[in-house]
Structure 1
């Protein structure tokens, strides 16, 4: 699609304002009729001739006429849309794809033919960045205390990706919220479903727990996975310990981020920090180590996949593991100091290194940055399977992964400012298809504004949904499998900042307000006709909305100066949602939210949810780590019991819990405690560190 110039846009803005005044009568003024619009655009000072004959062999009259026709058609489309728009409390239904709502870039990403093309692009990108712009997203200090060398001349890199990451639900899932976990081995994280990685996983008989230890011989820090048999609850035992890293290497430091569990395969994801002979920080890689756990007491290492770059996210869908990293490119002085290893992403499987072919590399066109988004796909059920791979140079601020595709988004601003000197923000959406071990670029789309409030992109039944925000409004777009515009809304919570967007069942929930006190429900059951259904008051809940089912939500939080409350929302009728039940926690209980909102366990099958807390004794002031369990049944929240994980809280808190049959297991970095849910008492406790 061709782009309008600044003066065209000014003319259209002026015409659009005049048209807005006439919508009451639905008459199209003479000034806005097709012939008048074309005449005005022809006389616009901004239409300047440019000779394209050297490239096309044709004078520019055709190009010029085409731009006039496009602009006129755009204005006429705006007229038609405005006359047909449905308005609901200030929210406007986008009936078509106009220049004012979104547009297609001519070539937002381009392919390359050779490594030389990549090298040239990298040098151009690095040459366009100033020293003040260079920041490294890979200078995170490992927990072993080694400090990356950020002062070295060749270590200046530009800013990397945001921390907001979304993943698709491979199946109906009402478990832990799918946000990026904090890589802290002292915190146990329980996840439900194969496709989510976490720090604790269970198959209903064993717990697989990432923790750390100390090597008795050399005092080094051990990165390890404890495999604990937890059934029967009264006979818990550690059946084996997987040592991932013993901390003795001077060249590398490995830290386990999280793990996957699928049938008889356990996968550990690790960050690997590499150091030079002088001890200076050199680079970072992401490692996926596969184990056969057919016999949990004797796990066998079957595969080690090492991929350039820092960990961004991952997803396990059926037997396909998608691994996403960010590979930054160091600042170089000139072409002579730029090596192929610097600019071409690579990975290894069992020490066999593979560099990406040129055909697997794409380059972002709009203001690219000196970093790669690097994606690989591995079939974990076949040790001999080929690895799908793809890298995009210069793009990617958020990524959304699903079973058969992934979408990358990247924000940019218009080159030309408007009449007020302001530049318009846009977001590019790139879609890639996953077919077996092949990853192919599908299509791209550009929407107005930047992605709103963190995780604000989602896919269901082939439809990609995205929420954006600009200075004037919040917008919502629905795209089909071909990444074509289907429908959308604009004007959601005008002049307010969207805090978060959640997609649950057939609804999207837009949370806004200084204290997240407002939530708008958008019915997206018909992707061609999204509509505002209703509103609920969620003051204090911020991002903490949890799905019990498609029609029941839990809001957990506290308004300013208030106690922590838990509210069960009935959204079976999205046009008339209501707070079905409210429970207020006692003041001595403090919820351990930290940076990971997944601390709340939701078990929709058993209709239970649990929250880790720290209790303070009013008389002695002693703090106790505990887990509070509730039932959600017949539209009511009912407390089941409080289970003390540690009678002397010293920082080793039970931050996660999981229910197996009639037993609650609470997990921390040091111990596992099993409780009888019905009797509300400990059955056994096991030290794991």
Structure 2
């Protein structure tokens, strides 16, 4: 129910107008993708200004008139033969950018506005050996490949420095605009040579107006997704005002220089009927060939969630119902998800197809590709007379994103909390009062079906494969005794039933009768784990049985009832040994606070402050944990503290 309510609020906050009239006369198709492109600059401007007039837009900045105020992996093996952990990714072979990476000898960490390069192995020699910090650039995530590092971040472009006119809103009487610097948010991507870790060399910078969504790395090519929203005022824009600008610079120490349109009007595709509110750019960069120009595929649209296989990338965008002036839903217009597919080859992304399904998705794990078919799990949110009327579905689409099969109306009155596709099966968790884990057969794409289900108190927010017949779940425990007399309109009573962080191991060998074989509950009501909502924070290595997750623990005082919020007593990492025979066995706990008193005095409790552990990894027999304040080493056998490398120091 909690996520359903949030989904309804999101629906109200992000009303998506689906009934825009077509704005392009005639049709010219791109010879490679087959996607229609704009026939002229005027056609592009018309599409966007008509959308803006209907309210389907952002804030527009024009160069020739007044403007509004600016909008502010599983274990690998190093060359020395020592095993180490990689980023926990969705698809094997498709890396995902993160705030920390390792190559088995060095660890690279984003902390604040700096990237730290640490010699990590062997542990006794661990030290910070280098760092990257650029004024005006905020790093977010990174990839590494041998002696190359690419970092994604954000910066700002000042209009007066880039050839953009700098103008204030026109005076009401004179109509004359004044001059002032206009700043626009930009995605900035920087490629470094890190052969000398103590002195990284900038090889290339790529900047584009917009916001960074996510990225993937396949081989030595990286693909990143950017949303760009024009800003509108009441003046006559030209195409160059609307199309996002970019620049690509070899060498240097910082980005500078004028921006150019990321594409011309006839290189920008759209899906009829055109709904022109934003631009979606799929860009690609080689980490090896610095002279290779960054690839840029631009379509009208935007993205919320991304799934990528070895040769395809799918961008999902929710389309919420549109309403007429009297508040009634427009006919034939329902909550849905639009999926746009791009093929990936030779470091280039090419538009392939677009499809649409009913409902909205939870996250990237609600999507999957298998044997040429695309599978997607959705929830259609609904709330009538204080009752949840949501329904859940799994749709199977063919390579052209045309409907191939569907399983609909699963678990009425509940919402999807977790999904994991594993080959010919899918595992889906829905939740209202108990945690139904559904086992779904997808071996026949035209006829998906439920094989079995398990109902237990609590729910899972994230599912991690243990092997082909076992799943690890992480979410929340629910106390049925608190929930027993629930009045549906009393959400406060409902929420008090949710207790501590729950770890579970499910056996799905008998698909008709899945069972929960082990469970572990951490803390009381108020306890949280970042791993439940961010899979990159979850560390699991089946070979060694190592399982590590960051937790913020809330604990009740003796005698306090379970429906009360606990007091925050710990933030750090819980380290377990997990086996099929023994279940979850705690090995130890790691914290970056020197004392519990220091944690409580941080004044941030739930968030843990700069000492909040957000990631963990291992190299050999050493566990490395990461927070904004430091990189810490612990012995995996004894859990003894080995060394602390504070950030901010070399």
User: Is TM (by shorter chain) over 0.5?
Assistant: yes
In 1, Cα distance between equivalents of 2:416 and 2:285: 36
Aligned to 1:226: 116
Aligned to 2:190: 289
Deviation at residue 623 of structure 1 after TM alignment: 4.7
The answer as to 2:135 corresponding to 1:240 is: no
Aligned to 1:458: 368
The answer (yes or no) to whether the contact 1:194–1:262 under 8 Å persists in 2 is no
Equivalent position SS for 2:137 = strand
The answer (yes or no) to whether the contact 2:322–2:329 under 8 Å persists in 1 is no
1:632 to 558, 563, 578: 578
Once the two structures are overlaid, the 10-residue window that deviates more, 468-477 or 384-393, is 468-477
Deviation at residue 324 of structure 1 after TM alignment: 0.9
Deviation at residue 547 of structure 1 after TM alignment: 2.7
Deviation at residue 394 of structure 1 after TM alignment: 3.7
Q: Deviations over 1:148-203 (max 9, x none)?
A: xxx9527589xxxxxxxxx9xxxxx9976669xxxxxxxxxxx9977111111111
Deviation at residue 287 of structure 1 after TM alignment: 0.9
Deviation at residue 397 of structure 1 after TM alignment: 4.6
Aligned to 2:465: 547
The answer (yes or no) to whether the contact 1:589–1:613 under 8 Å persists in 2 is no
Aligned to 1:86: none
In 2, Cα distance between equivalents of 1:192 and 1:458: 12
1:467 to 366, 377, 387: 377
Aligned to 1:301: 202
Equivalent position SS for 1:153 = coil
1:211 to 111, 129, 153: 111
In 2, Cα distance between equivalents of 1:483 and 1:626: 43
Q: Deviations over 1:521-573 (max 9, x none)?
A: 21224434422121123643341333333432222222225443321112233
Q: Deviations over 1:94-152 (max 9, x none)?
A: xxxxxxxxxxxxx99632244343223223322333xxx655699xxxxxxxxxxxx95
Equivalent position SS for 1:544 = strand
Aligned to 1:507: 425
The answer as to 2:617 corresponding to 1:658 is: yes
The answer as to 2:282 corresponding to 1:375 is: yes
The answer (yes or no) to whether the contact 2:95–2:216 under 8 Å persists in 1 is yes
Deviation at residue 497 of structure 1 after TM alignment: 2.8
Aligned to 1:256: 139
Q: Deviations over 1:343-369 (max 9, x none)?
A: 355442436865313443112334614
1:332-411, aligned counterparts within 5 Å?
Answer: 332-335=233-236, 337-338=237-238, 340-343=240-243, 345-350=245-250, 355=261, 356-366=263-273, 368-410=275-317, 411=319
2:228 to 294, 310, 327: 327
Aligned to 1:433: 343
Q: Deviations over 1:314-335 (max 9, x none)?
A: 1111122111111111113232
Equivalent position SS for 2:576 = strand
Q: Deviations over 1:420-465 (max 9, x none)?
A: 9864414433322223244332223333x22233442222333211
- Write out the 4+ residue segments of structure 1 that deviate beyond 4 Å after TM superposition: 133-138, 154-157, 173-179, 191-194, 275-281, 351-354, 412-417, 419-423, 586-592, 614-619, 621-625
Aligned to 2:452: 534
Deviation at residue 281 of structure 1 after TM alignment: 5.8
Aligned to 1:272: 155
Aligned to 1:572: 509
In 1, Cα distance between equivalents of 2:310 and 2:40: 30
Deviation at residue 633 of structure 1 after TM alignment: 1.6
Equivalent position SS for 2:530 = coil
TM-score (norm 2): 0.71
Which structure 1 segments of 5+ residues have no match?
Answer: 1-54, 56-106, 139-150, 158-166, 168-172, 180-190, 213-222, 247-252
Aligned to 1:31: none
Deviation at residue 592 of structure 1 after TM alignment: 4.2
Q: Deviations over 1:644-677 (max 9, x none)?
A: 4433234312222112111111121112221111
In 1, Cα distance between equivalents of 2:409 and 2:460: 21
Equivalent position SS for 2:45 = helix
Deviation at residue 406 of structure 1 after TM alignment: 2.1
Equivalent position SS for 2:46 = helix
Q: 1:603 to 1:314 in 2, by over 3 A?
A: same
Equivalent position SS for 2:612 = coil
Equivalent position SS for 1:118 = helix
Equivalent position SS for 2:44 = helix
Q: How many residues align?
A: 523
Q: 1:394 to 1:661 in 2, by over 3 A?
A: closer
In 2, Cα distance between equivalents of 1:626 and 1:408: 34
TM-score (norm 1): 0.67
Q: Which structure has the greater CA radius of gyration?
A: 1
